Structure 1
Amino acid sequence: MTSHPDPLQVRKADHPIEELFLRRWSPRAMSGESLPEAQLLSLFEAARWAPSTYNEQEWRFLYAHRDSKHWATFFNLLLEANQTWCRNAAVLVLVVSHKVFARNGKPNPVHTFDAGAAFENLCLQGAAMDLVVHGMAGFNRGNARRELKVPDDYEVEAMIAIGQAGDPEQLPEELQAREAPSGRKPVGEIICDGPFSF
C-alpha cells in the first residue's frame, strides 16, 4: 500500500512555528475503516476549546458514521466530485453556526469566523492523531438545511470528511496527482503594516 507523503518532508516554514501546523493538510485517501467513538469525541473536544466572541461557542456539528442510518442522508448532500472519494470516509460532519447571540438574540457578525476557528482546532487535533480531516464546500446547502432540519437562525457552513488514512492509489487518477501537501504564500504576501496595500 502506498502511503501519504510526510508533510514535514515537503513543507518548510519561513519562520519558527510548531510542527503540527505543517503536519495538518487535507488528504482525500481514506481506508474505509471505522473511527472509534473515542477518537471522534477527541476531535470534537478540541473544537470545543476554540475561541469565540463573548464565549458564544456558536458552532454545532451534525455527524453520521458510515453504515449508520444517517449516512446516506449526509453522503447524498455531497456533490458527485466529493462523493467519489468520501465513500471511504468513516464519518461525515456538517458544520453549522448560530447567527444570533444567545444572550440577546441580536445578529452575531462573527459566527462564521468563530465556527472556522472551531474547525481549525478539529483539524489540528486530527493531524496530531494521524487522521484524515478534509473540509468541503462542495455540497448542497439547501438540501442540508432541509434534510437535517437546520433552523433558520443557524448558518450552514461546511462539511467535513474524517477517516483513517488510506492508499492514494485507490483514488481516481485525477485526484492521485493532487494527493500531496500544498505550500503557502510567503508571509510578506498576506500582511501589511498599516492600511490595505496589497
Structure 2
Amino acid sequence: MTANSPTAARVADHPIAEFFTERWSPRAFTDAAITEQELLGLLEAGRWAPSAFNAQPWRFVYALRGDAAWDGILGAILPFNQTWAQKASALVILASDTKFTAPGKTEASENGSHAFDAGTAWGYLALQAHIAGWASHAMAGFDRSAMAAVTGMPETFVLHAAIAIGCQGDASSLPEGLQAREVPSQRHPLAATAFRGKFSKA
C-alpha cells in the first residue's frame, strides 16, 4: 500500500487541516489486496458520523475482490466505471433507510434527513481511508435495480453510491480517455458557496 499522491496545487482559502485538501478520488488502482479488518476500520469511521435523532440510517454492503459477492456487485456498476473499479481492493455500497422510529414513538415515519446523514458517513469513511493511506472513489454510475437485487436491499432503503477502495495506482493503467482526468479536482472559491445572511446567485 502506498499513500495518496501529494496535491500541493490545492490551496485552501482559509486555514484547515491538510488532509482535507490532500484527499481526492482517483480511479487508478493497483492490484493490492485489503484485509477485511482494514476495510472495517474505514467503515468504523463512517459509523461515527452524526445523524438526526441518532437514527444512523446508513448501511454499508461490501465485498473484497475475490469474494463470492464481488462479481454481482461489480456487474451492477455501469460498464464505463467497471473499466477501472474492477481493480479496486473492495467495493462498498452505501444506502440509507427512508424510515425511522422517532424517540417516544412506536411507529416508523419518514426520515427526511436520511440522505444527508448517509452522505456524512461517506465523508467520514473517505477521510479515514485517506488518513490510512487508501484511495477511495464514490460513484453514482450503477444500475440501481440490479444493485438492489444483488445486495438484497430492503424496500425502505435508497441506494446512494458505489465506493471503490484500494491502493492508488498509476494513471497509465487507466483507459486513455481517463488518464488526463487522473488529477485532483479544484473547488469553487468559498465566496461562491458561502453567504452571510442571504443566499446570492452571483
Corresponding residue number in structure 2 for 1:6 = 6
- Are 1:164 and 2:163 an aligned pair? no
Q: Calculate the TM-score normalised by the size of structure 1.
A: 0.95
1:162 aligned partner, one-letter code: I
1:119 to 1:97, Cα distance in 2 relative to 1, 3 A = same
Contact 1:94/1:159, CA 8 A, preserved across alignment: yes
Partner in structure 2 of residue 180 of structure 1: 183
- The match for 2:65 is 66
Measured in 1, the distance between the counterparts of 2:88 and 2:200 equals: 42
Give the residue type in structure 2 aligned to 1:21: F
Aligned length: 195
- Percent of aligned pairs sharing the same letter: 43
| Secondary structure of the structure 1 residue equivalent to 2:138 | strand
TM-score (normalised: structure 2):
0.93
CA-CA distance at 1:4 after TM superposition? 6.4
Distance across 2 between alignment mates of 1:194 and 1:169:
47
How many angstroms does 1:166 deviate by?
1.2
Paired with 2:170 and 2:44, the residues of 1 have a C-alpha distance of 28
Distance 2:57 2:87 in 1: 29
2: distance between equivalents of 1:31 and 1:10? 24
Q: Which runs of 5+ in 2 are unaligned?
A: none
Deviation readout 1:47-99 (Å, 9 max, x if unpaired) = 01101001111100001111110000000011111001011101111111010
Answer yes or no: is the 8 Å Cα contact 1:4–1:168 preserved in 2.
Answer: no
Task: Say yes or no: does 1:144 pair with 2:147.
Answer: yes
Gaps of 5+ in 1: none
* Paired residue type of 1:74: I
Where has structure 1 moved over 6 Å in runs of 4 or more?
Answer: none
SS in 2 for 1:169: helix
